[in-house]
Chains A and B, each alone.
Chain A
């Protein structure tokens, strides 16, 4: 199983090397990958039917509870089959569609990487590895959408898609972490047992909200829907793959997957119903306002995703069953419609639905495929779309008080989608062929067989639902709903309200198709609402955020070192002051304080005066001298308190510093006044605060009892082990001898630096040193 999932990644890495050696036959060879995976997954059908689910476990990062464990049940099997099956058709289709494209091998690399990530998402049992695959789909779809990398619009769409889905993924990650915190595991299978605990926990609301953002961004729900139409900039095989069966269904998969775990609560149901209903109606209306075939399909896809969210939201057994069937039905007909659009585009160079007509005269097999797909999308009897629609109406009709409204919305959506489906699948193939498309001809079978095959499947499954009822739909239903009810799919439900609604849908949809001609005018009327569209608002928000980041950065990273120091120290001072005054009890133990003698007072006063001088004077020499006095006063303190070595060192070093200063700097001009009074006041205030704080801290630390184990060890062993009487010296040259050696090296480096700076002459013409 692990191999099945990561095969795509390995393949993606190897593709560029393959194509270097074997040019021609390879594209067909590539298609073997999804095909063999498809067959691999097919053989699990029987086992899933009898066992329910199979777990595969591979360790990855056990210390963090992250494993590469995979869970194969009805739902993930359905997705795996769609991913690999439609993937195989897309691979074959592409061999002709992008024939001779210079980046063809790159395209296959992206495509197989994407396929592998999708498989990872739907098969992962561990939520962390699911998240990783989830983000991988975002990244690989970014490459696919932006495949025409020289087109700026294409790059922009790719970036929009990546930022929206990537953002959703990160939000979902926080949801996963919360879920782990409550449920105690990253494994979905284990979490299922603690479903009640999670639903009753206080963070439940947060968890579902975060998961919703992840699912809605991925599945293009309102108001995150706008990345999907933009993603139509990709080559048609990509659109087919991303939007019929894979990428956008990942969000649906997520919701369906978590229904048994998180579902069936008020907030879960009402949010999903609301968002799903808004999306399906909104996008269905949009889809009949477009004239570009791909735009029509994009909006009808969003609408279909809305329906799925809506159905999962209703959450009754019927609704979940309807969702399960509709996932499959939609994937079959939508993939076919996309592929057909690609063929039309490839052969005529146009996707304008107002112009396209009469193509059945030259490409009959394509027309048949389009016809079946459009009928399935409309839900005409004998097609899979019909069954899914019937079950969906049953589900909405059972929904208590709101049944009428929900059913009305569903019917409205279905009518509009019927029109959109007919425009995409039937309209180009009726009427007479315009002269401008005279050169169009039937393309290679490689192009038309895939959509034809999908049409056959729609028809086959729709006419003989028993083909899939037990083997596929039943396990899917059990894994979404978690119940054991035996389901039955029938073509004929008898004369009832559902049938009436179906007929109503078909008749009014057909009538609408008859009267409403696609035109640009309709679309133009919506343009004025552009300013309040979610896309504009989010893009505006993004810009605002960007400029805010700019201001923020320029404010803090302004290039002035001292401003950094001010920021850091002001923050530090405030933070420490807060702690000190809030929680620490300041006290002075007078027993520890030694008495003051008169000569000490003299030194202290001397020191204070010289510090003030060093700070305030404007004369360079005075401040150097004052600095010298500070150093010597320091030296006296060392002398008073039993540190003769320190005193000697301080004395010589201080003398050297003052001399060096005098020699080198006295030639410089007088100090200038650079800063204004206000800035000086500000700095003085901050410095005083900082100094006070350090003083208080020193006092507090001083009052704390300290342990002098180390000192005691050194003192007791100085003579015995190191044969020396001066303990400070012994520490420096014996116990810490290596440190001292390194320190000497540092000094040597500094000396070399000083020497070379003195001697270096960058500009030989000026001998200025």
Chain B
């Protein structure tokens, strides 16, 4: 299973980078999100895959009795997902705004900054 996940991580990174290199700002955001997903999955995978043992201590116990999934990567990924959302929503609104003002989605047309807005 890990092999399959590794392939998916590679695919997400490749796809994300490809989209990041497009001229359309919309595609850039898609690329950003794909990359974010890939990175999250990567960190998660490196915490080792454990099935059916979430890092939650059972009722009545003070410590884990059984094996448990690594909580640290999970905490990291959780933070990353939330921050990623902040970034994405800001970027989405920003390109919407840019499009409204300049009527283009093409990054290369944003080179001159002197246009009156």
Q: How far is the CB of A621 from chain B (nearest CB, A)?
A: 11
Q: How far is the CB of A714 from chain B (nearest CB, A)?
A: 6
Query: Which residues of A (599-643) have their CB < 8 Å from a CB of B?
Result: 600-601, 604, 607-608, 611-612, 614-615, 620, 623, 627, 630-631, 634, 637-638, 640-643
Q: Does A726 contact B (CB under 8 A)?
A: yes
CA distance A695 to B68 in the complex (A): 26
Q: How far is the CB of B98 from chain A (nearest CB, A)?
A: 10
> Chain B contacts of A731 at CB under 8 A?
71-72, 75
Q: Are B9 and A695 in contact (CB under 8 A)?
A: yes
Given the known inter-chain contacts A642-B50, A719-B57, please indicate yes or no for A740 contacting B8, CB distance below 8 A. Answer: no
Q: Does A672 contact B (CB under 8 A)?
A: yes
Q: Are B72 and A714 in contact (CB under 8 A)?
A: yes
Given the known inter-chain contacts A593-B3, A642-B55, A715-B55, please indicate yes or no for A728 contacting B87, CB distance below 8 A. Answer: no
Given the known inter-chain contacts A698-B42, A743-B82, please indicate yes or no for A614 contacting B30, CB distance below 8 A. Answer: yes
Stretch at the interface among A37-45, A299-307, A646-654: A646-654
Given the known inter-chain contacts A634-B40, A664-B92, A716-B63, please indicate yes or no for A615 contacting B18, CB distance below 8 A. Answer: yes
CA distance A650 to B82 in the complex (A): 8
Of the candidates B22, B33, B96, which one forms a contact with A665 in the assembled complex, judged by CB atoms under 8 Å apart? Answer: B96
CA distance A736 to B76 in the complex (A): 10
Q: How far is the CB of B47 from chain A (nearest CB, A)?
A: 8
The number of chain B residues with a CB under 8 A from chain A is: 88
Stretch at the interface among A267-275, A421-429, A485-493, A704-712: A704-712
Size class of the A contact interface (CB-based, 8 Å)? 35 or more
Q: Does A747 contact B (CB under 8 A)?
A: yes
Given the known inter-chain contacts A634-B40, A698-B6, A757-B93, please indicate yes or no for A672 contacting B107, CB distance below 8 A. Answer: no
CA distance A668 to B100 in the complex (A): 9
Question: Which of B13, B22, B33, B71 is most buried by chain A, counting CB atoms within 10 A of its CB?
Answer: B71
Given the known inter-chain contacts A653-B82, A750-B87, please indicate yes or no for A611 contacting B12, CB distance below 8 A. Answer: yes
CA distance A560 to B75 in the complex (A): 36
Of the candidates B18, B41, B92, B107, which one forms a contact with A683 in the assembled complex, judged by CB atoms under 8 Å apart? Answer: B18
Given the known inter-chain contacts A641-B51, A715-B71, please indicate yes or no for A725 contacting B57, CB distance below 8 A. Answer: yes
> Chain A contacts of B21 at CB under 8 A?
562, 565-566, 683, 686-687
Q: Does A762 contact B (CB under 8 A)?
A: yes
Q: How far is the CB of A710 from chain B (nearest CB, A)?
A: 6
CA distance A642 to B49 in the complex (A): 8
Query: Which residues of A (737-769) have their CB < 8 Å from a CB of B?
Result: 739-740, 743, 746-747, 750-751, 753-754, 757-758, 760, 762-763, 768-769
Q: How far is the CB of B104 from chain A (nearest CB, A)?
A: 9
CA distance A569 to B21 in the complex (A): 11
Given the known inter-chain contacts A560-B108, A594-B51, A711-B72, please indicate yes or no for A660 contacting B92, CB distance below 8 A. Answer: yes
> Chain B contacts of A665 at CB under 8 A?
26, 92, 95-96
> Chain B contacts of A661 at CB under 8 A?
92
Q: Are A640 and B51 in contact (CB under 8 A)?
A: yes
Given the known inter-chain contacts A607-B8, A608-B11, A674-B23, please indicate yes or no for A642 contacting B3, CB distance below 8 A. Answer: no
CA distance A739 to B79 in the complex (A): 9
Q: Are B74 and A728 in contact (CB under 8 A)?
A: yes
> Chain A contacts of B75 at CB under 8 A?
728, 731-732, 736
Closest to A690 in B: B17
Of the candidates B9, B41, B101, which one forms a contact with A762 in the assembled complex, judged by CB atoms under 8 Å apart? Answer: B101
Q: Are A642 and B53 in contact (CB under 8 A)?
A: yes
CA distance A699 to B45 in the complex (A): 10
Given the known inter-chain contacts A593-B3, A668-B26, please indicate yes or no for A644 contacting B81, CB distance below 8 A. Answer: no
Of the candidates A608, A645, A660, A674, which one forms a contact with B8 in the assembled complex, judged by CB atoms under 8 Å apart? Answer: A608
> Chain B contacts of A725 at CB under 8 A?
56-59
Question: Which of B83, B90, B93 is most buried by chain A, counting CB atoms within 10 A of its CB?
Answer: B93
Query: Which residues of A (12-56) have their CB < 8 Å from a CB of B?
Result: none
CA distance A707 to B7 in the complex (A): 25
Given the known inter-chain contacts A615-B19, A695-B9, A715-B64, please indicate yes or no for A646 contacting B74, CB distance below 8 A. Answer: yes
CA distance A604 to B7 in the complex (A): 10
Q: How far is the CB of B110 from chain A (nearest CB, A)?
A: 10
CA distance A315 to B78 in the complex (A): 76
Q: Does A691 contact B (CB under 8 A)?
A: yes
Of the candidates A569, A614, A695, which one forms a contact with B6 in the assembled complex, judged by CB atoms under 8 Å apart? Answer: A695
> Chain A contacts of B84 at CB under 8 A?
653
Q: Are B45 and A611 in contact (CB under 8 A)?
A: no
Q: Are A643 and B74 in contact (CB under 8 A)?
A: yes
Q: Are A747 and B83 in contact (CB under 8 A)?
A: yes
> Chain B contacts of A592 at CB under 8 A?
2
Q: Are A631 and B46 in contact (CB under 8 A)?
A: no
Q: Does A553 contact B (CB under 8 A)?
A: no
Closest to A614 in B: B30
> Chain A contacts of B9 at CB under 8 A?
694-695, 698
CA distance A641 to B7 in the complex (A): 17
Query: Which residues of A (680-707) have their CB < 8 Å from a CB of B?
Result: 683-684, 686-688, 690-692, 694-695, 698-699, 701-702, 706
> Chain B contacts of A760 at CB under 8 A?
97
Q: Are B77 and A646 in contact (CB under 8 A)?
A: yes
Of the candidates A588, A611, A643, A732, which one forms a contact with B69 in the assembled complex, judged by CB atoms under 8 Å apart? Answer: A643
Sample of 10 A–B contacts (CB below 8 Å): A608-B11, A642-B51, A645-B74, A665-B92, A718-B57, A727-B55, A727-B56, A727-B71, A753-B93, A762-B117
The 3 closest A-B pairs by CB, nearest first: A691-B14, A695-B10, A642-B69
With A665-B95, A728-B78 known, 6 other A-B pairs at CB within 8 A are: A604-B8, A608-B11, A687-B18, A698-B9, A732-B78, A754-B90
